[in-house]
Chains A and B, each alone.
Chain A
Amino acid sequence: MEQINQTQIKETYAIVGASGGIGKAIAQTCANHQWNTILIGRNPQRLQALKNHLETLGGSHIAWNNPWFSQEEAKTCLLQTNPSTLVITTGILHPSPALPHQRKEMIEANIEIFWNWGEAAAEIIEEENKPLKIAIIGSVAGDWGKKSNYIYGSTKGLEEIYTQGLQHRLHKKTTVTLIKPGPTKTRMARNLPNAANPITVAKDSIKAIQKGKRVAYSPKYWRIIMTIIKFTPKPLLEKTNL
Chain B
Amino acid sequence: MNTQTIYSWGNWPRIEQTEGFCEWPDELRKVEGERLYVGLRRSYGDVCLAPSSSTAVNCTPMALLQNLNQTLELEGGVSLNDLIQITIGKKLFPKVVPGTKYITIGGAIANDIHGKNHSKVGTFGNNVEEITLYRTDSGVITTKPGDPLFHATLGGIGLTGCIIKAKIKMTPIPSSWLTFQNTGFQTLEEFHKLSEQSQDWEHTVAWLDCTNPKGKGIFMRGNWTEGNITPHKNPKISIPIFFPNHTLNNLSVCLFNSFYWIINKNKTGTQHYNPFFFPLDFIGQWNRIYGRRGFTQFQCAIPKNNRNAIEDLLKEISKSKLASFLAVLKTFGNIKPQGWLSFSIPEGTTLALDFPMENKTLEVIKRLEEITLKAKGKIYLAKDATMSPKTFQTMYPNWEDLEKIKDPLITSALWNRLTKPK
Q: Is the CB of B27 within 8 A of A49?
A: no
Q: How far does the Cβ of B40 sit from chain A's closest Cβ, in whole Å?
A: 13
Identify which of A20, A46, A52, A57 contacts B66 (C-beta below 8 A). Answer: A52
| Contacts beyond the supplied A20-B23, A24-B61, A46-B24: 14 A-B pairs with Cβ under 8 Å | A19-B24, A21-B23, A21-B61, A43-B26, A49-B64, A52-B64, A53-B66, A56-B86, A185-B61, A190-B19, A190-B20, A190-B21, A191-B1, A191-B19
Chain B hits for A132, CB < 8 A: none
Known: A191-B1, A191-B2. A56 touches B65 (CB 8 A): yes
Identify which of B20, B24, B67 contacts A56 (C-beta below 8 A). Answer: B67
Q: How far does the Cβ of A201 sit from chain B's closest Cβ, in whole Å?
A: 14
Q: Is the CB of A52 within 8 A of B67?
A: yes
Q: How far does the Cβ of B318 sit from chain A's closest Cβ, in whole Å?
A: 43
Is B68 at the interface (CB under 8 A from chain A)? Answer: yes
Q: How far does the Cβ of B52 sit from chain A's closest Cβ, in whole Å?
A: 17
Q: In residues 187-230 of chain A, which contact B (Cβ within 8 Å)?
A: 187, 190-191, 193
Known: A56-B86, A57-B86. A187 touches B65 (CB 8 A): no
Q: Is the CB of B65 within 8 A of A45?
A: no
Question: Number of contacting residues on B, CB 8 A?
Answer: 18
Q: How far does the Cβ of A137 sit from chain B's closest Cβ, in whole Å?
A: 16
Q: In residues 155-201 of chain A, which contact B (Cβ within 8 Å)?
A: 185-187, 190-191, 193
Number of A-B contacts (CB under 8 A): 42
CA distance A46 to B19 in the complex (A): 24
Chain A hits for B86, CB < 8 A: 56-57
CA distance A20 to B19 in the complex (A): 19
Is A121 at the interface (CB under 8 A from chain B)? Answer: no
Is A63 at the interface (CB under 8 A from chain B)? Answer: no
Q: Is the CB of A53 within 8 A of B64?
A: yes
CA distance A39 to B26 in the complex (A): 18
Which residues of A are in contact with B by a Cβ distance under 8 Å? 19-21, 24, 43, 45-46, 49-50, 52-53, 56-57, 185-187, 190-191, 193
Chain B hits for A186, CB < 8 A: 23, 61
Identify which of B21, B26, B66, B67 contacts A187 (C-beta below 8 A). Answer: B21
Question: What residue of chain A has the Cβ atom nearest to residue B20's Cβ?
Answer: A190
Chain B hits for A56, CB < 8 A: 65, 67-68, 86
CA distance A1 to B65 in the complex (A): 37
CA distance A19 to B64 in the complex (A): 12
Question: What residue of chain A has the Cβ atom nearest to residue B22's Cβ?
Answer: A187
Question: What residue of chain A has the Cβ atom nearest to residue B72's Cβ?
Answer: A56
Q: How far does the Cβ of B234 sit from chain A's closest Cβ, in whole Å?
A: 11
15 contacts between A and B (CB under 8 A): A20-B23, A21-B23, A24-B23, A43-B24, A46-B26, A50-B64, A52-B64, A53-B66, A56-B67, A56-B68, A57-B86, A186-B61, A187-B27, A193-B2, A193-B4
Question: What residue of chain B has the Cβ atom nearest to residue A46's Cβ?
Answer: B24
Q: How far does the Cβ of A202 sit from chain B's closest Cβ, in whole Å?
A: 13
CA distance A191 to B3 in the complex (A): 9
Q: How far does the Cβ of B168 sit from chain A's closest Cβ, in whole Å?
A: 14
Question: What residue of chain B has the Cβ atom nearest to residue A189's Cβ?
Answer: B21
Chain A hits for B2, CB < 8 A: 191, 193
Q: 1/0 per position for B119-137, CB-CB distance to A under 8 A?
A: 0000000000000000000
CA distance A46 to B4 in the complex (A): 31
Question: What residue of chain A has the Cβ atom nearest to residue B21's Cβ?
Answer: A190
Chain B hits for A20, CB < 8 A: 23
Q: How far does the Cβ of B46 sit from chain A's closest Cβ, in whole Å?
A: 23
Q: How far does the Cβ of B102 sit from chain A's closest Cβ, in whole Å?
A: 14
Q: How far does the Cβ of B362 sit from chain A's closest Cβ, in whole Å?
A: 32
CA distance A186 to B21 in the complex (A): 8
CA distance A24 to B4 in the complex (A): 27
Q: How far does the Cβ of A116 sit from chain B's closest Cβ, in whole Å?
A: 24
Chain B hits for A50, CB < 8 A: 64
Q: Is the CB of B1 within 8 A of A49?
A: no
Chain A hits for B19, CB < 8 A: 190-191
Chain B hits for A24, CB < 8 A: 23, 61
Chain A hits for B26, CB < 8 A: 43, 45-46
Q: Is the CB of A52 within 8 A of B65?
A: yes
CA distance A45 to B86 in the complex (A): 23
CA distance A45 to B26 in the complex (A): 10
Q: In residues 10-33 of chain B, which contact A (Cβ within 8 Å)?
A: 19-21, 23-24, 26-27
The 7 lowest CB-CB distance pairs between A and B, nearest first, are A53-B64, A190-B21, A191-B2, A56-B68, A56-B65, A52-B66, A53-B65
Q: Is the CB of B66 within 8 A of A49?
A: yes
CA distance A137 to B273 in the complex (A): 39
CA distance A45 to B64 in the complex (A): 13
Q: How far does the Cβ of B140 sit from chain A's closest Cβ, in whole Å?
A: 12
- Which residue of A21, A24, A52, A53 has the most chain B CB atoms within 10 A of its CB atom? A53
Question: What residue of chain B has the Cβ atom nearest to residue A191's Cβ?
Answer: B2
Question: What residue of chain B has the Cβ atom nearest to residue A198's Cβ?
Answer: B61
Q: How far does the Cβ of A33 sit from chain B's closest Cβ, in whole Å?
A: 14
Question: What residue of chain A has the Cβ atom nearest to residue B3's Cβ?
Answer: A191
CA distance A39 to B68 in the complex (A): 20
Chain A hits for B23, CB < 8 A: 20-21, 24, 186-187
Q: How far does the Cβ of B29 sit from chain A's closest Cβ, in whole Å?
A: 14
Q: How far does the Cβ of B321 sit from chain A's closest Cβ, in whole Å?
A: 40
Chain A hits for B64, CB < 8 A: 49-50, 52-53
